[in-house]
Amino acid sequence: MRRSRSRPNRNRLFPLLLAATTVPVAATLAPAATAQEPVEQISNGDFAGGLQPWWHTENAPASVSDGRLCAEVTGGTVNPWDAIVGQNDITLLDGESYQLSFTASASVPVTISTNVQLAAEPYTAVLSERVALGTEATEFSYNFTSDLATDGGQVAFQVGGGEQPWTFCLDEVSLRGGEAPDPHEPDTGPRVRVNQVGYLPSGPKHANLVTDAAQPVAWRLADAGGTVVAEGTSSPQGLDPTSGQSTHHIDFTAFTGEGNGFTLTADGETSYPFDIREGIYTDLRTDALAFFYHQRSGIEIEAEYVGAEYARPAGHLQVPPNQGDVEVPCQPGVCDYTLDVSGGWYDAGDHGKYVVNGGISAAQVLSVYERALHTDGGDPAKLGDGSLAVPERGNGVPDVLDEARWQVEFLLSMQVPAGEELAGMAHHKVHDANWTGLPLLPHEDPELRELHPASTAATLNLAAVGAQCARLFAEYDPAFAARCLEAAQTAWDAAKANPAIYADPEDGVGGGAYSDDDVTDEFYWAAAELFLTTGENRYWTEVSSSPHHGTEVFTDGGFGWGSVAALGMLNLATVPSELSTDQLAFVRDAVVRGAQRYAATADAEAYGLPYAPYEYQYVWGSNSQVLNNMVVLATAHDLTGRAEFAEAVLTGWDYLLGRNPLNQSYVTGYGEYDAHNQHHRFWANQSDPSLPNPPAGSLAGGPNTGLQDPVAAEQLAGCAPAMCYIDDIESWSTNEVTINWNAPLAWMASFAEDLAGTGPPPQPESSCTVSYRVGNEWPGGFVAEVEVTNTGEEPVQGWSLTWDYPGDQRVGNAWNARVSQSGSTVTARSESWNGTLAPGASVTFGLQGTFGSANPAPGEFALNGNTCA
């Protein structure tokens, strides 16, 4: 069902002229550039972006240092092409002139071959030069005319054939000429956009139609046999600023039948097929969690658990060519000991292991289990021993805890040992001394691994996760739980003593920087976790006096590795503890208010996602921000049972699984048109067809307006925010996978699976009354006053009142409530200061509106999803 469309940026087809012989044009010194600047065909020719997209053969391991590429070429090869450094995907046009230039040197004088040629057989060359290199870096330049037309060209520096090993260094590579590539036109498929996986029978069912039509359009829902099972008309929504598309909203929630292979047709376009059934999220929960076993370092990944395609030897156990991670030294001058930091999860497509990001990921995986323990609809048995394909299955411990422990053990190992300066702090990260290229399997990574300086942020991550580990493992392994708690408390004390040691933002060679110079949120999170585990007052004092306790931690952009206060707040609101009733009400109210904000966003967004960052600046890994906002909504749903929160979670899923401007499912293996070329050194099928694509359940980072990689910068320039994504292995800033993105994916899949199992939330007895009064009316306009009374016995925290206008009324401005309207449905939400409605209490708000011919009052109101009397 998936991968039915070709990669969007490979759509241009060129006739291939297979010249029998090489036709290099005489190598001359290049003329000066003409008035029209020739187009650059090489990406990252100055290596400012690291090694990618350059590649090298195994016998010429290359890395970038001092701003140039150097390759250690082994001796004993026969032909020049036995060792190569190159770049693929070069476009060449027939009859066009080009200039290849570069700066190169060798550790000993040597002659190499420099070719511009086809990347695959018959390797026809349009330039083939023997180049004599000396030890001084020298600039070379060659002109040629191509008699090939291909987008599968290659620039290859053939450095083999020597008896002795030597070092080849390269910089400022440029191939100029030809035409600028066509602007990237994403193939967005049918204009009807649906959740390509499907919808829950009892859940909301929303879709979009992309059209400029000003009037509603008829739609039809058909089952797999083509029988129309529901129909209606769309609601025009106007121009969507996230995509530049004009869309209509299609709501087919009323259809609650079940089956596979439904399609939605409108305006002559038919959507991808989708299911309507329970169990949509069952496999996703397992697949999203399995991702972490795949990412394990220091252990063989066995076919028994992942299938032969994904099996691989253990990485980074110091078996050559690996140089780590059993006895890893610090960067020069940082420390004089070594640590065994083997194990843990690789962060992403790279082989780095970072405590900040590793910490939040471990915490969210632990929380998958902790939520199931403490939530009515949760079921820890579904996550129990035997639920995942991991080597620890059958050990009596829930598998999700086993998986998290693999990472927690690594985090603990990053702590500075007793007796050393900064004892108890955590090293910020361990990774390669230089960026490696891809593909590269973990056990083949030849780079030196180094410990980077300790940081306060990493130390507090360790403290938070250690505390959470202690309470979850107490039942299964008290000794391990005690070790976690001791490490956590030691880390806390060390962080208090060293509260402002920040990771260097420039420390980004060979691995990500993950720098953060505001750790007040890390202090908050760690104190919250330590309080929840120990009940100790000293931690509560830290929590309650933190600037994050009482200010808005659930911001529009959402939380992530650099802003973690939300993690503390969510657990304070849900994990049983010694909090007083008032304190508990305070944190729960904060969560509910956050969820209201995200529900309102989901309502207002054309594509229904609960994410609207400032000026729509979608960040690196925006999909995880969407998911983390969904986590807040889901937690609020767990706390209140309010249907509107579950609905916004589900429309968030719709966005991630295909109901979006690109018609793209961002989860591998899910949906008709899924992301499957994510940036990864092993799952690098796009670079090397003998390697696999990412396994099912791998989340792509998603749209990123920053465009921080060369492919995104070139192909997506000028993109509308939600269109800034490309399923290309070299677009690491829009299309990587990481543990901190898959962790909320797993959390949310687990929630959604539980939600599917419970069906729609029970509707309690009516516990509200509403008075709706038109105070003033004039031709075409009116003012209304609405009074809501809580007639139930429980306080309502964070209220939202909905109604449908029977006429064509449109609400303009409102006071004492935040009012929005979608079609005829109006939603009024409490302000921060009038959110609590005690039993018997009333609140009044007002609004001004317009209408066409008549202004009839609404007949029915619902308070937080429950119909009022």
> At its nearest, how many Å lie between ligand 9MR and the CB of residue 560?
7
Q: Decide if residue 347 touches ligand 9MR (CB under 6 A).
A: yes
Separation between Cα atoms, residue 657 and residue 646, nearest integer Å: 17
* C-beta closer to ligand 9MR: residue 338 or 617: 617
DSSP string, 737-792: --HHHHHHHHHHHHHHHHHHHH-SPP-PPP-EEEEEEEEEEETTEEEEEEEEEE-S
> At its nearest, how many Å lie between ligand 9MR and the CB of residue 506?
11
Angle at 727 between CA 664 and CA 39, to 5 degrees: 130
Q: Decide if residue 49 touches ligand 9MR (CB under 6 A).
A: no
Which member of 206, 316, 443, 679 is catalytic? Answer: 679
Q: Which helix (H) or strand (E) holds 364?
A: helix 355-374
Distance of CA 806 to the CA centre of its chain: 42
Closest CA to 409 of 453, 343, 468, 488: 343
Q: Which of 19, 513, 691, 841 binds ligand 9MR (CB under 6 A)?
A: 513
> At its nearest, how many Å lie between ligand 9MR and the CB of residue 738?
5
Q: Decide if residue 682 touches ligand 9MR (CB under 6 A).
A: no
Q: Which stretch binds ligand 9MR (CB under 6 A): 366-374, 442-450, 463-471, 730-738?
A: 730-738
Closest CA to 788 of 834, 857, 849: 834
> At its nearest, how many Å lie between ligand 9MR and the CB of residue 458?
14
> At its nearest, how many Å lie between ligand 9MR and the CB of residue 42?
23
Q: Which stretch binds ligand 9MR (CB under 6 A): 347-355, 518-526, 645-653, 760-768?
A: 347-355
Q: Decide if residue 358 touches ligand 9MR (CB under 6 A).
A: no
Q: Decide if residue 732 touches ligand 9MR (CB under 6 A).
A: yes
Q: Decide if residue 264 touches ligand 9MR (CB under 6 A).
A: no
Q: In what order do the strands lie in the sheet with 353-354?
A: 353-354, 429-432, 449-451
- In angstroms, the Cα distances linking 703 to 440, 660, 668, 739, 773 are 26, 11, 16, 18, 45
Q: Which of 524, 611, 620, 861 binds ligand 9MR (CB under 6 A)?
A: 620
Is 808 a residue of the active site?
Answer: no
For residue 103, the cross-strand partners are: 139, 171
Contacts of 284 (CB under 8 A, 6+ apart): 197, 667, 670, 697, 745, 749, 752, 753
Contacts of 504 (CB under 8 A, 6+ apart): 453, 513, 515
Q: Which stretch binds ligand 9MR (CB under 6 A): 364-372, 573-581, 587-595, 732-740?
A: 732-740
Is 350 a residue of the active site?
Answer: yes
Which member of 96, 507, 714, 736 is catalytic? Answer: 736
Q: Which stretch binds ligand 9MR (CB under 6 A): 187-195, 343-351, 551-559, 723-731?
A: 343-351
> At its nearest, how many Å lie between ligand 9MR and the CB of residue 348?
3
For residue 175, the cross-strand partners are: 100
Tokens at 241, concatenated: 């600023």
Q: Decide if residue 710 touches ligand 9MR (CB under 6 A).
A: no
228 by Cβ neighbours in 10 Å (0-12 / 13-18 / 19+) ranks as exposed
Separation between Cα atoms, residue 185 and residue 174, nearest integer Å: 26
> At its nearest, how many Å lie between ligand 9MR and the CB of residue 288?
17
> At its nearest, how many Å lie between ligand 9MR and the CB of residue 665?
20
Q: Which of 352, 558, 697, 710 binds ligand 9MR (CB under 6 A)?
A: 352
> At its nearest, how many Å lie between ligand 9MR and the CB of residue 547?
23
Q: Decide if residue 736 touches ligand 9MR (CB under 6 A).
A: yes
Q: Decide if residue 739 touches ligand 9MR (CB under 6 A).
A: no
Q: Which stretch binds ligand 9MR (CB under 6 A): 53-61, 181-189, 387-395, 731-739?
A: 731-739
Q: Which of 190, 621, 702, 710 binds ligand 9MR (CB under 6 A)?
A: 621
* Residues near ligand 9MR (CB under 6 A), total: 11
Closest CA to 609 of 559, 665, 649, 569: 649
Q: Decide if residue 695 touches ligand 9MR (CB under 6 A).
A: no
Which member of 82, 516, 727, 730 is catalytic? Answer: 727
For residue 140, the cross-strand partners are: 102
Closest CA to 377 of 642, 763, 757, 649: 757
Q: Which of 466, 512, 744, 761 binds ligand 9MR (CB under 6 A)?
A: 512
Separation between Cα atoms, residue 34 and residue 457, nearest integer Å: 52
Separation between Cα atoms, residue 83 and residue 90, nearest integer Å: 20
- In angstroms, the Cα distances linking 697 to 76, 438, 741 are 44, 22, 11
Binding residues for ligand 9MR, per CB under 6 A?
Answer: 347-348, 350, 352, 512-513, 620-621, 732, 736, 738
Residues with a known catalytic role: 350, 679, 727, 736
